[in-house]
Structures are given as C-alpha cells and as structure tokens.
Structure 1
C-alpha cells in the first residue's frame, strides 16, 4: 500500500515514522505547505516527499493521512473522498459545526471510508473500561469522571485559532465518554476560570474548566480540563457503577502524589505530553486505518462521531458564556 501524508508537524512526523514500519506499506509520501519542512522530514525518515499538498494527490496513492492544520482538514477530506482515497484525518473534521456539517454532507453516500483520529478509543485501558461497562461487570453506572490536564499551555499564537478549551482539548473526553458508556450526552453545565496567562482571556478562552454532563440514561459525568497541571500530563477516566468501578490512566507514571502515611510513591517519571502517553494507541489507530483502507473493516470513528463530540463542546462553551445548563439539542443543526 502506498500512503500519502499531508502535514509534517510533530504528530505528522510521528505518524509517518509509524506508517513506514507497518507490514503491507510499500511506501510513504509526505507533503506540507512548507516544502522545506516536508523535504527535511522525508530525509530524516527515509520516505518520499511531494513538492506540495496538491502534488501529493498525483503521487499514485492508495490512501491519505491528514495531519495538516485544522483549516486544511475539510478540503483535504473532501478531495480525498472525491479521488476515491480512503482518508484518516486527525480531529477535528473542521474548525466549527458548520464546516463539519459541510464535509458530512459532501461525503454522504460515498463508499470511500473516512476515519477521524480519536486515539483514546485505541488505548488498552479505555478499551478495557468499555468492555467492563458493556459486559455489565460494573452494574449500572452512576458516575463517570474524565480528566485532561496538560502540564503547560500551548503557545500564545495557537490559542485564538484553537477553538477554545472545550473544542480543542475537551472534545477527546466528550468522545470517550460516549464511546465507553455507549450513551449520548443530553445536557452540559460548564464553568471556566483564568488563573494563568492573559492571552487566554484576550482570546475569549479559559485555561481551566469543570463540566457536568448528563447522559441519556441519567448517568452523571464530570470532565476536568486545564492547561496548567505542573505535575505532568494527566489523563484519567473513571467508570463507577452499582457493583464495581474501574479507572483508566492510573499507572506508574501518573503525576499524582499520595500524602497518606505509608503509601509508596509512584515511581514516575510523569508523562510529559500526549504523544508519550498515547504512543501505543496512535500506532493501533493507524494499524486500524490500514484495515479500513484495505476494505477489511469499517471506520471505527467517522465524521459523525466528531460532530457529536463537537456538539457537546459547543454546548459547554454556550453554558460557560451564559452561566446555565445547556441541552445539546439547543446547538444541533
């Protein structure tokens, strides 16, 4: 299989390195709006480089992986589908709901598969939690807790174009709440705070947030988000039921320190970021895409899944701004 990859930033470079090592991948061709960066990445990894993104589509590809900037996602997804190329795209599908719906409308009815990058679905811990919920091992769920706590904020220039904390960061938690529980979110109540850099305020964003979600069966889910978790990258998920409970992300590298006497500290070191925490999940996700591209499996996370997570993020943002609970149906289009 000959794969194309559009976007040679940090995650694109990591994906290209992973893809070239898979059995069944004969070649990888990378491209970027910065042709010099693409050439440097190709030389570093020992893969091919196209002279530009447009030229990538003429490189005799069997499938495309999109890791470019968000504003390029819609056009690349639609162009790939129109060309008959199965496409994997990092989240989000587009920068907003309108753009996401436009992509969904464009590709509707096409047999060409699209997979959106929600790597937590491929993490062994989240998969085990989903199995525990599905099997009935936990009984009925009463509480779900999810956290995404970044160790430090992104660059100031990134924030105004990020979509905000809920759309950029929390969307992974919203997707995984849906996926693990098998339920839909019906309402959201969100609050936010700014305790750090002023550039979050200037962008109309927050650096820390707390969310209460109500699922369609009455289960309550809380989501905690921050850009300032100095102890390290902390992503956890708890599913608590009438019979038992499980936790994802509590391991030797969790950035937590118990102050109870006699408790042995976790050995660490803490995960510095998402790439280190989810490296095996990213590889599993791309391996799944090869099966999708080869017609051996359906897409495990389509554009519609991205839209549902985006709706929840939109409800959270509206709730934060208006100071009230928001039903997800209020933001549906």
Structure 2
C-alpha cells in the first residue's frame, strides 16, 4: 500500500477539524500522511500531535517534504498567495471558501490557475451532504417536476465574535454564499437578480461593524423561478440549515430530520424527537469527511473536480450582489 502526503496550512477551528478528518481518512489503496504548518507554532504543534501528524515551521519546509496535495485553512486574505504557491509547486490544492476576499481579487487567481493548468478544489461542503445530494438526484430525475419556488435557510445558534464579523464581508458573504452555491449546483441555473433586506435586533456591536444579524434575499433564477435565501446569527433553537424545493409534481426538504431545530405547534406531534445541532461542524460532519476524501480522489485522478474555483467565484458574485442590495435597498442584477 502506498502513501499520499497532504500538507495542511492553518490549524485554527476549520484547520483542526480538517486535521482530525484527514487523520481518520481511509482510502482503499493507500495511507494518508499529514503535515501541518501554522504561524502560531505552539498551537499548530498541539493540533498536529492530536491528529498524529507532523509539524513543520513554514510552507517552504512543507513543500520540501514532498507534498502530493495542499489543504488551505488559513485566513481569507492569505488564500490567493497560498493557492498560487500550491499551483506553482505542481500539486492539487484544496482551499476553504472564498478564493479571495473579493471577486475582483479572485479573478487574477482564476487566471493564474488556468494559465498553469492548476487543480484547485474549493470547500463548499454542502455538495457532499447526503440530503442535498438526494434532492439534486430527485430534481435531475424529474421527480419534482418544474420548480415553482424554493426556500433556503442558514441559521446559526449564536453569533461568532464581533471581531470576526468585522472582517467577514457581511452575512451574505459569510453564510448565505453556501446557499447561493448549492442552488446553482443543484438546479444547474444561474442566479440573475437578488433583492435583500436585513435587520439588527441582537448585539448592537454587530451593526456597529457594518453587518446585520438577520437577512433575507428574494432570489430570481435565469428561468424566472423565485425563491428566498434567509440567514441569521440568533437561532436559539439550534443550528438550522434547510432547503425546500417545491415543484409542480412533488416537493422535498433537505434538513427535515429528527435534529431539525424546530418544534410543531400541532397537538400530538412529537417530531422531531432528537436534540438540534449546535453548530455547522456538527451538522455537516459527514459532509466535511466526504469532502476531504473527494480531494484525495481528485489528487489520484479518480474523480472530476467536485467544486472548481470558477463555481465558488460565481457564488461569491451572487453574495456581492446581495450585499450591495442590502446596502442600497434596491434589487441588484448579478454580473456574469
């Protein structure tokens, strides 16, 4: 059995999760070896030790160790340079969304990747969730008929630190971009217009840094189908991520299970019976694991790229339009 070596840049919350998932990853034909680097060396060494991985002081040392693939889980501002470094090293790259802090900043990166024939997979984990995959299968098989409407929800149980929100780019770019991506991926349609509104009834500090704690966007697809994309930081019932697809023949909901963060007001109804999810990492645990296995399969040439950077930038364009609509109070066309 051979060995495949992955490098992980960034050992923060997402990086530590990826490290644990890579450590437990099983592939039919090889073992996976993990090396980690982080500017916070002491913390990085602790994450590496917990994952049974090696720790190296910087990216240069990591490339010198002979990587087969690079996983980027650092801050957004570092993504473009690290993507370029991985592509220049001639290895496939996995990067957490987004490709860059803005669409304008991402376009030169896309050109760089194309010019050098690079392989870059972006982390949109909902594409690997079994519920979203089944909804996509039903839609593509014609079981739903034609869509007359859709409703997407991303609701955090509690907001992250205000310091993070100050640099996140806004609720639509941080949270709803996942909904925009999965809608494009699932329906095969482009989002052409968004009309957004937002509110702040929670911590005033969120508004003070220019963000909102709750937002709703009316979304139009290129065939005229209408739907809504909602997000909030204050869903005290639990972490709630859902997608309703309502069609001319049938309807389906992703996230309708015993851990749904919702309770019925009808007499005698006990569903859902289980405890709600507390956070996104728990809700999408299996999807994150499947995503990393897919990256290994991409490195080995066993599958097509499940989330190319062009798709991620297209979703970011929609998030930018939603953010602009939120700021101006007017509908905004999504630029192609």
The TM-score bracket by the shorter chain reads: over 0.9
Query: Which residue does 1:156 correspond to in 2?
Result: 162
**2:14 corresponds to which residue?**
11
CA distance in 2, matches of 1:305, 1:59: 31
Query: Alpha-carbon deviation of 1:327?
Result: 0.7
Task: Give the CA deviation at 1:217.
Answer: 0.7
Gap runs ≥5 in structure 1:
none
User: What residue number does 1:197 align with?
Assistant: 203
**Of 177, 180, 183, the match for 2:183:** 177
Per the alignment, residue 129 of structure 2 pairs with 123
Report the CA distance between 1:110 and its aligned residue.
Answer: 2.8
How far apart are the structure 2 equivalents of 1:287 and 1:111? Answer: 22
Partner of 1:222: 228
Q: Give the equivalent residue in structure 1 for 2:266.
A: 260
TM normalised by structure 2 equals 0.96
| Residue-by-residue CA offset, 1:269-320 (whole Å, 9 max, x unaligned) | 1100001000000111111111111122221111111111011011101111
Distance, in Å, in 2 between the alignment partners of 1:109 and 1:288 is: 24
Size of the alignment, in residue pairs? 330
Match of 1:97 in 2: 103
CA distance in 2 between counterparts of 1:309 and 1:56 reads 31
Segments of 5+ residues of structure 2 without an aligned counterpart are none
1:11 Cα deviation (Å)? 1.7
Matches of 1:312 and 1:94, distance apart in 2: 15
2:308 equivalent among 298, 302, 313 = 302
Q: Of 43, 54, 58, which residue of structure 1 is paired with 2:49?
A: 43
Helix, strand or coil at the partner of 1:324: coil
| Aligned partner of 1:137 among 137, 143, 158 | 143
Q: Distance in 2 between matches of 1:101 and 1:293?
A: 24
Measure the CA separation in 1 of the matches of 2:290 and 2:50.
23
Under a length normalisation based on structure 1, what TM-score does the superposition of the two structures give? 0.97
**Contact 2:150–2:246 (CA<8 Å) still a contact in 1?**
yes
Q: Is this contact kept in 2: 1:113–1:298, CA < 8 A? A: no
